[in-house]
């Protein structure tokens, strides 16, 4: 892999451009074959899901470094790969290829690694402003071995695998707008009604050939079953459940596809959801060790040649490698912030357009004393899901006096229109509905995921009417370009840290095979399979609140 000196840039660009003509023909063929591969691998997944999981887990072991030192250092003839994006997916891909003795360079636009994993330490304790839960506290989780090895503690906020009612009753408290606690039996009863409504939406789905939104389906169910309609306080609690559902997808119910909304809950890993007590940052730190990383390198153009890829960064410098793995967020691809030469084929562009990117924001408040009850979630119910809200009580999980207000969908976008100070005041207004005597926070933090130019959204979700193969197309390579990132993760693990991680490893593995086929290096092929033999660490996951 080379950084091209200025004098050679033009020649390199011309060479890469020339080879595009040859490549376009090849790409047409690859397009077809990659679709076939995608369709085939889907079938395989259905029939041999377990087997696939094991092989991913094996790849994971290779990647995170509990394995012995690399068999060989990259040398001048090793294939070279540029990984674009230093979130967990890019870091995983880079580590995987580094361990496979490839020459790897990771280009990251920000001045930090982690992307949508962002543990802030300015409160004097870790506060995750992006991802904070491990979804699926179990050995099958591809991140479990690393979390175990690092000795990180997980605080389990739910004992089961559900995604929509993921908090045990005794662990949350709801309040109405006047500060009265909602009786727990009302919360339970309305929770049961909500489950019935959702199961009825399945019938609505089966009756309609075209897709609808989840909200449309709920209103059809309520028209058909007036007995499921709720009034007064119960109606507000129902709205709160819808608000929680919207938080899972980071999108409003009127934009979530009815066709696929429940697949994520079916595919969720077992073991419940565990908060990373020390924050997610240690995972990023451990994974990125030994990788050649360039921060503040924003990629502006990718020239995909027949044999080489040329990457141009914001200040005009070019980097050339045999292949590239693109792990920038879907929001960045949607906004066309990276120019592709040649242009991405129409099927890839339509996959990018077909998928949605939601939004979720956090407002973290640090207090000098704890004035709230010792439960995990504090929620405010209201006549609409937009007006409902909730706080995660980090004090219960970590012992630090921090509450994190979490807002999703339109509300999350509206909060980004406010200054940090006004956003914190907004969260305090919500808090004061429950606790009129709440003291002022001593510090606050506000996230802005949908206007952050390096993310432009929170994570992907299924828009109404999305094409069924959009994820497969998004994942499919184009010549020497491979795609990773949460949105391309398989088995419906989009929008999660472990899904993003796994997608990075899979992109790394596909890239490795592609380059080995091209370079014909049997030695490199064997290097990885040898490492796959090594056993994982036998330390159990550390879980509090069993």
List residues near ligand FAD by CB under 6 A.
84-90, 107-110, 115-117, 130-133, 135, 298-299, 327-329, 332, 337-338, 360, 362, 449, 454-455, 458-459, 485-486, 495-497, 500
CB of 223 to ligand FAD, least distance (A): 34
**Nearest by Cα to 183 from 193, 191, 173, 192:** 173
Annotated binding site: 89, 299, 405
Compute the distance between CA of residue 528 and CA of residue 254 in angstroms, rounded to an integer: 46
Instruction: Match 């921060």 to its residue by tokens.
Output: 295
Q: Which is nearer to ligand FAD, 193 or 358 (CB)?
A: 358
Q: Which is nearer to ligand FAD, 378 or 500 (CB)?
A: 500
Q: Which is nearer to ligand FAD, 82 or 388 (CB)?
A: 82
**Nearest by Cα to 253 from 262, 243, 263:** 243
Beta carbons of 186 and 234 less than 8 angstroms apart: yes
CB of 515 to ligand FAD, least distance (A): 21
**Nearest by Cα to 140 from 399, 502, 463:** 502
Q: How many CA atoms lie within 13 A of 354 on its CB side?
A: 16
Sign of CA pseudo-dihedral 405, 165, 455, 504 = positive
End-to-end CA distance of the chain: 49
Q: Which is nearer to ligand FAD, 313 or 516 (CB)?
A: 313
CB of 107 to ligand FAD, least distance (A): 5
Q: Residue 130 contacts by C-beta under 8 Å, 6 or more apart in sequence?
A: 114, 115, 116, 117, 118, 280, 447, 449
Q: Establish whether the linkage from the previous residue to 342 is cis, with ω within 30° of 0.
A: yes
CB of 498 to ligand FAD, least distance (A): 6
Write phi, then psi, for 426 (nearest 5 degrees): -60, -45
Q: Which is nearer to ligand FAD, 13 or 107 (CB)?
A: 107
Q: Which is nearer to ligand FAD, 204 or 470 (CB)?
A: 470
CB of 295 to ligand FAD, least distance (A): 9
CB of 457 to ligand FAD, least distance (A): 8
Annotated binding site for substrate: 405
């Amino acid at each position: 892999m080379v950084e091209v000196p200025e004098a050679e840039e033009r020649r390199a660009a011309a060479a890469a451009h020339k080879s595009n003509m040859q490549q376009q023909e090849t790409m047409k063929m690859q397009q077809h074959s990659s679709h076939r591969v995608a369709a085939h691998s889907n079938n395989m997944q259905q029939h041999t899901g377990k087997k696939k999981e094991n092989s991913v887990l094996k790849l994971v072991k290779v990647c995170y470094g509990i394995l012995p030192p690399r068999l060989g250092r990259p040398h001048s003839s090793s294939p070279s790969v540029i990984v674009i994006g230093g979130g967990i997916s890019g870091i995983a891909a880079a580590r995987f290829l580094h361990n496979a003795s490839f020459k790897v360079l990771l280009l990251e636009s920000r001045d930090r690694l982690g992307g949508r994993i962002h543990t802030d330490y300015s409160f004097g304790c870790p506060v995750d402003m992006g991802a904070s839960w491990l979804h699926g506290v179990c050995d099958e989780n591809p991140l479990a071995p690393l979390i175990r090895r690092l000795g990180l503690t997980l605080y389990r906020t739910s004992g089961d695998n559900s995604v929509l009612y993921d908090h045990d009753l005794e662990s949350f408290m709801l309040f109405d707008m006047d500060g009265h606690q909602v009786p727990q039996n009302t919360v339970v009863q309305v929770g049961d009604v909500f489950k019935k409504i959702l199961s009825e939406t399945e019938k609505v789905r089966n009756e309609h050939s075209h897709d609808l939104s989840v909200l449309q389906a709920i209103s059809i169910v309520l028209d058909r079953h007036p007995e499921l309609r709720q009034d007064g306080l119960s109606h507000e609690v129902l709205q709160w459940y819808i608000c929680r559902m919207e938080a899972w997808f980071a999108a409003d119910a009127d934009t979530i596809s009815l066709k696929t909304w429940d697949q994520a809950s079916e595919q969720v890993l077992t073991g419940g959801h565990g908060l990373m007590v020390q924050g997610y940052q240690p995972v990023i730190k451990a994974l990125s060790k030994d990788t050649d990383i360039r921060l503040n390198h924003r990629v502006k153009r990718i020239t995909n040649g027949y044999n080489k890829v040329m990457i141009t960064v914001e200040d005009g410098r070019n980097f050339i490698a045999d292949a590239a793995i693109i792990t920038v967020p879907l929001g960045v691809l949607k906004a066309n912030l990276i120019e592709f030469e040649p242009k991405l084929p129409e099927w890839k562009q339509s996959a990018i357009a077909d998928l949605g990117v939601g939004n979720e924001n956090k407002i973290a408040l640090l207090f000098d004393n704890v004035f709230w009850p010792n439960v995990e979630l504090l929620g405010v119910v209201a006549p609409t899901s937009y007006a409902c809200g909730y706080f995660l009580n980090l004090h219960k999980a970590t012992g630090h006096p921090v509450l994190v207000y979490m807002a999703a969908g339109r509300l999350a976008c509206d909060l980004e229109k406010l200054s940090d100070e006004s956003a914190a005041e907004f969260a305090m207004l919500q808090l004061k509905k429950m606790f009129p005597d709440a003291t002022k926070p001593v510090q606050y933090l506000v996230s802005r995921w949908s206007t952050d130019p390096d993310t432009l959204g929170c994570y992907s979700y299924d828009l109404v009417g999305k094409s069924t193969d959009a994820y497969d197309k998004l994942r499919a390579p184009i010549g020497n370009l491979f795609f990773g990132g949460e949105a391309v993760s398989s088995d419906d693990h989009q929008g999660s840290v472990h899904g993003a991680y796994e997608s990075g490893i899979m992109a790394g593995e596909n890239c490795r095979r592609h380059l080995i086929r091209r370079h014909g290096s049997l030695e490199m092929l064997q290097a990885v399979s040898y490492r796959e033999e090594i056993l994982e660490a036998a330390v159990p996951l550390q879980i509090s609140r069993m």
